[in-house]
Amino acid sequence: MDSSKLEKFATAARVTLLDQMAGLVTQALNDPKIAAEYPNDVTGLRAAVSEHGETWVADTAAHTWFNRLTAARFMDVRGFSGPYRVVSPAADSASNLPEILLRAQSGEFGDEISERTRSEVSALLSGRRTSENPELEAYTLLLRAMFVAWYPSMPEVFTGPADWIRLLVPADLLAPTSVRERAVTVMDDDACATVEVVGWLYQFYNSDLKDEINKAKVPIDAAELPAVTQLFTPHWIVRYLVENSLGRLWLRSRPNSALREHMPYFVEPIEGQPDTGITVESPEEIRLVDPACGSGHMLTYAFDLLFHIYEEAGYARTEIPQKILTHNLRGLEIDSRAAQLASFALAMKAREKDRRFLTRKVDGAPVRPDIVRIEPLTFDGDDVELLARGLCRDDRAALESLLQAFVYADTFGSLIRVDPVGMAVLRRILTDAEQSDGADTTFEARREVLVRARRLYRQADALEDDQYHVVVANPPYLGSGNMGGQLSDFAKARFPETKADLYAMFIERNAELARPSGSVAMVTMQSWMFLTSYRKFRARLPEWGHIVTMAHLGARGFDSIGGEVVQTTAFVVDIASRRTGNGQFFRLVEGRSEEEKRSCLVQANNAQGDARIRFVSSMNEFEAVPESPIVYWLSDGLRSSFHSHSLLGSVANVVNGLTTGKNERFVRQWHEVAISRFTSKCLSEEDSRNVEFRWFPYNKGGQFRRWFGNMSEVVDWQDAGRRIESFGHSFPRSRSFYFRPSISWSKVGTGDTSFRYFPPGFVFDVAGMSIFPEQGISFSHLLGYLNSTCASETVAALSPTINVEAGQVRNLPVIADVLDDVCECVDRLVSIFRSDWNARECSWDFVSHPTIGLGCSDLVEASGILWGNSIAIAEEARSLEQRNNELFARAYGLQAEVPVAVSIDKVSVTLNPHFRYRPSNSRSRREEEYRALFDQDLARELLSYAVGCIMGRYSLDEPGLILADAGSTIADFEVKVPNSRFRPDDDGIVPITENEYFPDDILSRIREFLSVAFGEENLTANVSWIEHALGLGKRKDLRQYFLKDFYADHLKMYSNRPIYWQVSSNSKQPNKGFNALVYLHRYTPTTLGIVRENYANDMLDKQEARLTTIAHALDTADKSEARDLIKEQDELTRVRREVQDWVTTTLFPLSTAEIALDLDDGVKQNYPKLGAVLKYVKGLS
């Protein structure tokens, strides 16, 4: 099945149908002919519009047509739609018309078509009845007739005799570009091999809507909940869940059953361990429910397995489908559209096995799938009075409570708990009403209320506790932060232990729906296994459940979801209190796709795979670890360490930090602000009240890096955070620890954890959580432990998610006694990583480019020295990290249980090429590739430093920052560097043009810099090395690099917050126009005026002069020379015209406005103020 074609079709069909339905709704409401012909349907349409609005009606109609057309196409392909195909052409037909219409043109009709419809269709097709589009009208009648014929067995999908949606018929049903025709093309035999195709189409249909809702970042309520939370489950996971719950139930009941032969994902019970779960005598006893059934994938496979069970029990094949649908399977769903598809999918499963299913009746009624839509129902005071006549106070209260529970049923769905007392009262009321003879004077008034009460009773009956042998589900996922108000309040009140996510609430609720000794089989996010927010839920789990088997999928368990964020697990829990014994766990987290994970499980289950995949563990073992995480793979040594040593939280404060509430307002990259407004020397919060600085270092987590670094953000903490405190959404936690030295880590990461030392002076963020050792506890010793494999293996067990929380780090077992050898290793590692961090412009302690201090004038030689130094330092750091691992492994007695070797590509020092340039996939690089990438970045960083010297930010003669305040001038530079060998640009404006129009353009200044820094005699060789290192080739030199690539490199180096802004008349083709770099910290309101007068207009004058020269040269040029001159003339004329227009319409207005910039506002706020004349930057412009 080509899912990409299905996705493209479904998303395009949604757009098409929504557009069509919007127009048809308006037409149907205003056309008197339609009102006269279909008065009841129009009345129904008006009522729907009045209740829900035209947008909802159009959306509902669009989705219903999509479901019906795709369902009919599936039936056509599988031969289920009757004697003639309904939406598809005949298999051997040259026509694209649906077979049912083509046959009608010849007077042939199936039995489903009534005599009246036959007559109307024949009249239209013969011309006896006039119509603007007789074929379409005839086909619409035929479709309606088939939908009515299918209605008894699939009422949720197809229309009955009266249905307002039949008024809204797409006008292009017979067109080659119609949704019907595209469905025929895309839904081929391969796609329709199984009914699961309708589930994929449903997910794809909603994909754009899901993206829109997620991007809006608004709380999710009932209307958005289905689109955001529906996710189609991979088939092998469905089989694993159903086989180990339903299949295991039957094998327990019939130990010698041959059902095993049909269950490749069944996990055999542990030998010698009794299976004491529930049993059944007959297949008809089995009750299975999917409480969030979506399009019915779980139910359709359960149908397959039940069919084998019934066959084995001796039932006739023709009676099995109706037995399954009548006795065994139930689906619950809040989304009417998904419920339609679930019903359809089960009907198709039944039709596969029984060719007469769609017309078969039992006791005079058609057999229908038991799909219960959980819908909102309201009863006002009068309604309650009519229902509650004669009830005592307690019974009335119980009834009112039950009725109230379903007011927001489309939000709460199967999470609604049903009060058995209220159910007994309602059951009695409905029974009494059925026995009434109608003589009661209030009977007619009660009729409509009773109809609604029966609908509510059906829903409540499906939600009563302790009734299902098996509960199987892939529940919706929705974190508490994205819940709407009603759902959030409901979660807090009814599910306090699992309120953090909708899926976890379903785990708790499903356990209540299952019978004692029944089974709950689910695939969910894995976070409930580990996060602190679920610790109470985990602690209570052994009281009601026993994990029988788990397939721990981790990331990429669903091919339709990429990345590391969605990490899942599939599991089966027996509802049994404090059952002893072990469960079987499969650790599939290393698999990179659905298929890899599936294959690993099958092999491990057959005892053929990696022994590190299958684990046997008991619930008691989880309780041995703080907060009881489901760490089934944890070694005995690591598990015992929690009892042998103190927990980190007892020897250090492990705390969350500041939430500003709006980082865009209060956080900057340090290089954005004026350096005189920033300090890293503050030692306490009290100090911050007594200084004039506004910006202070901010530990905000960051990428994987150990020991030291990730220090690039600053926070507005002037006057102890006065502005942040006054902002309503901020939360300054742990203030007493601000500005103290700490050990920190990044909350979010997809690989190994990395802990870093932070010196005094920092405020820390909620994502840069921090550790503050108690008095007498060594920083070095603690940092060494945290970066050891002993700690990383334990952290991976406590928090295998992408989030590492303070609570989990607090629970790490630590040896409090200081290991001197560790401290020596760690102090050296911190020194190495500090020097590495400060060697680049990203550090506020940067001094100069590393080539400058070597005393080497040949860049070829300098790069070789630096390469050698990098390799040596990386190897030293690797050796020290390995030594640190060995020391702690020995101290904890874990030499045989944790790895100690360190791969060179894991040594996170930036100068380590094997770390910095490690491939993102599994491929390897040759050493010469690493060297080429190293030289390339060395050259880029040298040119960046050179531009910094040209602008006066740096100097060859003084270390560190020189000009980094707002409006800095050349005079300021001369004060700080009185005898400079290399003078910065006078105005902080450096032109970059394709031709050499200016004596001080970028290339001239770069060459001058290189001459001063490394000697004029080496200039040619050094320029050649830079161009070669940058990979510029023959057709691209340094001038072209600055025109086309430098700005992109600058944006990357400065985290998309540039300090050198590129003024550009042509962002798309910078080499075809005017460009100049402007240094932000030297910008003044007159800067753009200087750019216009001294540079842009000057270039225009020089271009005009060149055009005059060309005109004169043409008078005497030969044919070949003339051709070249005319080409140059045409191109220069075009460029000059564009630049002139840009100067007049864009640069002139902005320059005369003399716009002021406040560096405190940051680049993101300031860049758009000049954006019309600047090079476009995504996220800034």
Tokens standing for 794? 């334990």
What's the distance, CA 82 to chain centroid?
A: 43
User: How high is the pLDDT of residue 750?
Assistant: 61
Please indicate whether residue 624 or residue 785 has the higher confidence score (pLDDT). Answer: 785
Q: Are 1047 and 943 in contact (CB under 8 A)?
A: no
**pLDDT reported for residue 560:** 64
Interatomic CA distance for residues 1005 and 996, integer angstroms: 12
223 pLDDT band, cuts 50/70/90, is low
Burial class (CB in 10 A: 0-12, 13-18, 19+), 1177: buried
Distance set, CA 343 to CA 62, 332, 349, 724 (Å): 19, 11, 10, 54
Q: Please determine whether the domains at 226-373+466-633 and 647-916 fall in the same fold group of CATH.
A: no
Q: What are phi and psi of 30, to 5 degrees?
A: -120, 0
Q: Quote the distance between the C-alpha of residue 614 and its chain's center.
A: 29
CA distance 252 to 1048: 65
What per-residue confidence (pLDDT) applies to 20? Answer: 93
Reply yes or no on domain 226-373+466-633 having CATH 3.90.25.10: no
Q: Is the pLDDT of residue 736 over 60?
A: yes
The pLDDT value given to residue 161: 59
755: helix, strand or coil: strand
* Averaged pLDDT of the chain: 91
Dist. CA 848–CA 937, nearest whole Å: 15
What pLDDT, on a 0 to 100 scale, did the predictor assign at position 89? 92
Which pLDDT does position 389 carry in this prediction?
Answer: 84
**What mean pLDDT do residues 93-106 have?**
90
pLDDT in tens, 537-586: 999 999 899 999 999 998 877 766 655 567 899 999 999 866 678 999 99
Residues 1052-1072, mean pLDDT to the nearest whole number: 89
Span 906-957, pLDDT tens digits: 999 999 999 999 987 767 889 999 999 999 999 999 999 999 999 999 999 9
Question: What gap in Å lies between CA 509 and CA 514, rounded to an integer?
Answer: 9
Q: What is the pLDDT of residues 1119-1143, one digit of tens each?
A: 899 999 999 999 999 999 999 999 9
Q: Enter the tokens of residue 77.
A: 């392909």
Minimal CA–CA distance to 584: which of 569, 602, 572, 567?
A: 572
Entry field: residues in the chain = 1181
SS3 468: strand
Contact 1128, 1108 (CB under 8 A): no
pLDDT for 607 beyond 90:
no
Output the pLDDT for position 1051: 97
| pTM of the predicted structure, to 2 decimals | 0.79
Domain residue ranges in the chain: 3-191, 226-373+466-633, 381-462, 647-916, 927-1173
**Interval 788-821: pLDDT, tens:** 999 999 988 887 767 788 888 999 999 877 788 9
One-letter amino acid of 1014 = F
The residue-averaged pLDDT of 737-760 equals 89
Query: Distance between CA atoms of 46 and 32, rounded to whole angstroms?
Result: 14
**Tell me, what amino acid is at 782?**
L
Q: Residue 900's pLDDT band (boundaries 50, 70, 90)?
A: very high
Determine the average pLDDT of the residues in 323-339: 94
Left, alpha or beta for 762 (phi > 0: left; psi -120 to 50: alpha)? beta
Q: How far apart are CA 812 and CA 638, in angstroms?
A: 10
Q: What is the mean pLDDT of residues 310-331?
A: 96
Q: Say what the pLDDT of residue 872 is.
A: 98
pLDDT value at residue 922: 65
pLDDT cut 90: percent of the chain above it: 73
Per-residue confidence band for 390, with pLDDT thresholds at 50, 70 and 90: confident
What is the rounded distance in angstroms from the CA atom of residue 26 to the CA atom of residue 180? 23
Query: DSSP string covering 665-721, please?
Result: HHEEEGGGS-GGGB-S---SHHHHHSS---EEEEE---SS--BS----EEEE-HHHH
CATH fold for domain 647-916:
Adenine-n6-DNA-methyltransferase TaqI; Chain A, domain 2 (3.90.220)
Using the predicted structure, report yes or no on whether residue 1112 has a pLDDT greater than 90. Answer: yes
Start-end of H helices in 582-696: 594-605, 619-623, 636-644, 663-666, 685-689
Q: What is the pLDDT of residues 431-477, one digit of tens each?
A: 988 877 555 656 677 888 999 999 999 999 999 999 999 999 999 98
